[in-house]
């Protein structure tokens, strides 16, 4: 959930057989130590009926949990998008058809990876649960990735197939020959909508708005065709356990290369159970209507909105383009929604839109903020307009993601990330690894059944991130006598832009490739809209007349939008240490 990094902090993304990879990395895992941490002071502040522990083994797999929900809530709407809803019965059938096609036509075997590169459309949950039911591993991909970023993730994960929106297929076409992808599946925005509505939307998107650049992907197949073929094939249920890999969720890396956090079925089931136990008093099975504006490929929305509320028979209202706030508000108008999740920038944009206060908030019971710190002014204005406080939490990709969250009985803004979840240990340690006294600053470390197995094919990175069962977050926090944690500093170089992680090394590696750049340093600076913005300091080569636009044009071809520098400052030199290392802290 929140004030964390995607990792790093704040969503398991995307060689060989799955079993072999597990064997390779299993040596990096450490068993949980037997000793217990310092007294869990937070347990005394737990709301009534919230248990101290959950059972992460209630379900054998995410597929089993999904299938139980489909049987229980069959005729109820599960997902809605662009004015059309899909029931749990329909979702079960379509996901089964996709699973059968993956097994029978594509011949994929348990543990192989399938990438999904989609915004919030009905196709996403169909593909997600289809991949999981086929015993395969989901590799979530940001649809806005540049060719460079997409190629790295596909090559690193060894994905064998990818489902991609036609709007972004031209990016895949540039790099697919450098990957192990043997089948591209292409879908258009309206594909799962009623026939005539789909025809009109796809026509407008492609020919009127011209949002689908030309691409050439020989052998690509349409998503609807895979469902039709799969409907004529037998689906073979796969035996899955909690230790089987469910997701490779990619996070940023201080080297500039993203890493795949290996999240097992048990990891996600545990966090799903933890969230359910935490918000249990505030939700009702089969009655919730959840506003899903954050992307489902992001770990926060994937776990909290999709997995958790599917378990409870909720209806997810999928918002495909939340940046269009006016359209977003109009999409909410017909619904008496009960739950909404978002990042601070989203809540801020909503409360500042003139038509938002006119919506019906009478059914709203739960608002959850994650991805970045919720600002007090935004939280207070939200509370006044909607009558519901924003529950701020904290999480990171490596923890599936939720570690802490504020209790549902708070009356307003607390300024904290809340209390540790059930079955979660949290401690604050000094640089020597010793636990610090109550009230003092220390690095936040967490352990629990939601903590990842490790990083895909990166045992050294895994060993640095997990020690004796504890996940080292790199964030500095304090805890008060009630057990409320507060983040006081982030990992020193991480930049958090609208809830997405940006690591300076990656930006610097791109900028230094611009002709005429001698040196570069990247930091985050405060920004009213996105929390933080990327700023680069550039030293030009002697005699070269560089401009900010030249730098930005170079970056646009290689960086996703949220990673783009918003400020460029030219300098004659950069501060350095006695060994020549550029000192970002002095620039900050």
Over residues 50-89, the pLDDT tens digits come to 999 999 999 999 999 999 999 999 999 999 999 999 999 9
Question: Rounded mean pLDDT of 99-125?
Answer: 98
Residue 2 — pLDDT band, cuts 50, 70, 90?
Answer: very low
From the CB of residue 477, how many other CB atoms can be counted at a distance below 10 Å?
23
In the chain the first and final C-alpha atoms are separated, in Å, by 27
In contact, 507 and 559? CB cutoff 8 Å: yes
pLDDT tens digits, 263-273: 999 999 999 99
- Check residue 262 and give its pLDDT: 98
Is the pLDDT assigned to residue 343 strictly greater than 50?
Answer: yes
CATH superfamily of 1-60+259-493: ANL, N-terminal domain (3.40.50.12780)
Task: Tell me whether domains 1-60+259-493 and 83-240 share a fold.
Answer: yes
Residue 33 — pLDDT band, cuts 50, 70, 90?
Answer: very low
- Check residue 469 and give its pLDDT: 93
Is the pLDDT assigned to residue 493 strictly greater than 70?
Answer: yes
503-587 CATH, one of 1.10.10.60, 3.30.530.80, 3.30.300.30, 3.40.50.300:
3.30.300.30
- Check residue 274 and give its pLDDT: 98
- Check residue 500 and give its pLDDT: 87
Going through 490-560 in order, the beta strands assigned E by DSSP cover 495-497, 500-502, 517-527, 531-540
In contact, 477 and 486? CB cutoff 8 Å: yes
- Say which residue, 348 or 178, is predicted with more confidence: 178
Is the pLDDT assigned to residue 20 strictly greater than 70?
Answer: no
In contact, 484 and 414? CB cutoff 8 Å: yes
Is the pLDDT assigned to residue 11 strictly greater than 60?
Answer: no
pLDDT tens digits, 536-570: 999 998 899 899 999 999 999 999 999 999 999 99
Going through 388-527 in order, the beta strands assigned E by DSSP cover 390-395, 402-405, 419-420, 425-429, 442-447, 454-455, 466-467, 470-479, 485-489, 495-497, 500-502, 517-527
Is the pLDDT assigned to residue 169 strictly greater than 60?
Answer: yes
- Check residue 505 and give its pLDDT: 77
pLDDT tens digits, 424-470: 999 999 988 999 999 898 899 999 999 999 999 999 999 999 999 99
Distance CA 245, CA 234 (A): 24
Taking the CA atoms of the chain, what radius of gyration do you get in angstroms?
23
Residue with tokens 């941490």: 37
- Check residue 266 and give its pLDDT: 98
In contact, 82 and 190? CB cutoff 8 Å: yes
Distance CA 94, CA 533 (A): 41
Is CATH 3.40.50.980 the classification given to domain 83-240?
yes
Residue 579 — pLDDT band, cuts 50, 70, 90?
Answer: very low
Which one, of 101, 63, 19, lies nearest residue 237 by Cα?
63
Residue 38 — pLDDT band, cuts 50, 70, 90?
Answer: low
Residue 490 — pLDDT band, cuts 50, 70, 90?
Answer: low
Residue 252 — pLDDT band, cuts 50, 70, 90?
Answer: low
Question: Rounded mean pLDDT of 469-496?
Answer: 87
Q: Are strands 245-251 and 137-140 parallel, antiparallel or unpaired?
A: parallel
Task: Give the DSSP per-residue string, 339-378.
Answer: EEEE-HHHHHHHHTSTTGGGS--TT--EEEE-SSPPPHHH
pLDDT averaged over every residue in the chain: 90
H helix intervals, 257-333? 265-279, 299-301, 309-311, 325-332
Question: Rounded mean pLDDT of 376-391?
Answer: 93
- Say which residue, 397 or 490, is predicted with more confidence: 397
- Check residue 253 and give its pLDDT: 46
Is the pLDDT assigned to residue 571 strictly greater than 50?
Answer: yes
Domain boundaries, the chain: 1-60+259-493, 83-240, 503-587
Which long-range contacts link 348-356 to residues 24+ away (Cβ below 8 Å)? 348/375, 348/378, 348/529, 349/325, 350/325, 350/382, 351/378, 351/381, 351/382, 351/385, 353/325, 353/326, 353/329, 355/326, 355/329, 355/330, 356/329, 356/385
């Amino acid at each position: 959930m929140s004030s964390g990094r995607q990792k790093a902090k704040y969503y398991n993304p995307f060689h060989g057989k799955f079993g072999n990879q597990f064997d390779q990395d299993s040596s990096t895992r450490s068993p949980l130590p037997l000793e217990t941490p310092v007294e869990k002071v937070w347990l005394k502040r737990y709301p009534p009926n919230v248990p101290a522990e959950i059972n992460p083994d209630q379900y054998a797999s995410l597929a089993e949990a999904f299938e139980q929900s489909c049987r229980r809530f069959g005729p109820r709407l599960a997902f809605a998008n662009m004015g059309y809803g899909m029931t749990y019965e329909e979702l079960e059938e379509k996901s089964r058809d996709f699973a059968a096609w993956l097994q029978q036509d594509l011949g994929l075997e348990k543990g192989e990876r399938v990438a999904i590169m989609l915004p919030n459309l009905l196709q996403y949950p169909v593909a997600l649960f289809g991949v999981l039911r086929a015993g395969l591993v989901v590799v979530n991909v940001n649809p806005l990735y540049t060719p460079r970023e997409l190629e790295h993730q596909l090559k690193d994960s060894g994905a064998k197939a990818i489902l991609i929106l036609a709007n972004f297929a031209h990016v895949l076409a540039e790099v697919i020959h450098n990957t192990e992808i043997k089948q591209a599946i292409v879908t258009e925005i309206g594909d799962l909508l009623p026939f005539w509505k789909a025809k009109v939307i796809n026509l407008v998107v492609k020919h009127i708005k011209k949002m689908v650049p030309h691409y050439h992907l020989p052998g690509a197949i349409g998503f609807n065709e895979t469902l039709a073929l799969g409907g004529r094939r037998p689906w073979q249920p796969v035996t899955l356990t909690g230790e089987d890999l469910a997701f490779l969720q990619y996070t940023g890396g201080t080297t500039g290369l993203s890493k795949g956090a290996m999240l097992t079925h048990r990891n996600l089931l545990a966090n799903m159970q933890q969230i359910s136990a935490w918000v249990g008093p505030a939700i009702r099975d089969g009655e919730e209507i959840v506003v899903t504006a954050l992307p489902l490929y992001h770990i926060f929305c994937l776990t909290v909105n999709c997995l958790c509320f599917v378990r409870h028979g909720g209806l997810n209202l999928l918002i495909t383009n939340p940046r269009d706030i006016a359209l977003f508000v109009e999409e909410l108008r017909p619904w008496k929604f009960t739950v909404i999740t978002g990042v601070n920038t989203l809540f801020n944009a909503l409360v500042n839109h003139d038509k938002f206060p006119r919506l019906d908030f009478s059914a709203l019971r739960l608002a959850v903020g994650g991805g970045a710190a919720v600002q007090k002014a935004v939280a207070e204005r939200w509370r006044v307009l909607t009558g519901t406080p924003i529950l701020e939490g904290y999480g990171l990709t490596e923890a599936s993601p939720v570690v802490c969250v504020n209790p549902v009985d708070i009356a307003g803004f607390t300024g904290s990330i809340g209390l540790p979840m059930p079955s979660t240990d949290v401690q604050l340690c000094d640089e020597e690894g010793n636990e610090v006294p109550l009230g003092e600053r220390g690095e936040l470390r967490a352990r629990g059944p939601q903590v990842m197995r490790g990083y895909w094919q990166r045992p050294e990175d895994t060993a640095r991130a997990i020690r004796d069962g504890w996940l080292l977050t790199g964030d500095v926090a304090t805890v008060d006598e009630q057990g409320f944690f507060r983040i006081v500093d982030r990992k020193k170089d991480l930049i958090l832009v609208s809830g997405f992680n940006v690591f300076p090394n990656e930006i610097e590696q791109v900028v230094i490739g611009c002709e005429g750049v001698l040196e570069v340093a990247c930091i985050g600076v405060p920004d009213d809209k996105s929390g933080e913005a990327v700023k680069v300091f550039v030293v030009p080569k002697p005699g070269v007349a560089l401009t900010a636009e030249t730098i930005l044009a170079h970056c646009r071809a290689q960086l996703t939008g949220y990673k783009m520098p918003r400020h460029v400052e030219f300098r004659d030199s950069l501060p350095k240490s006695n060994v020549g290392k550029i000192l970002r802290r002095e620039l900050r």
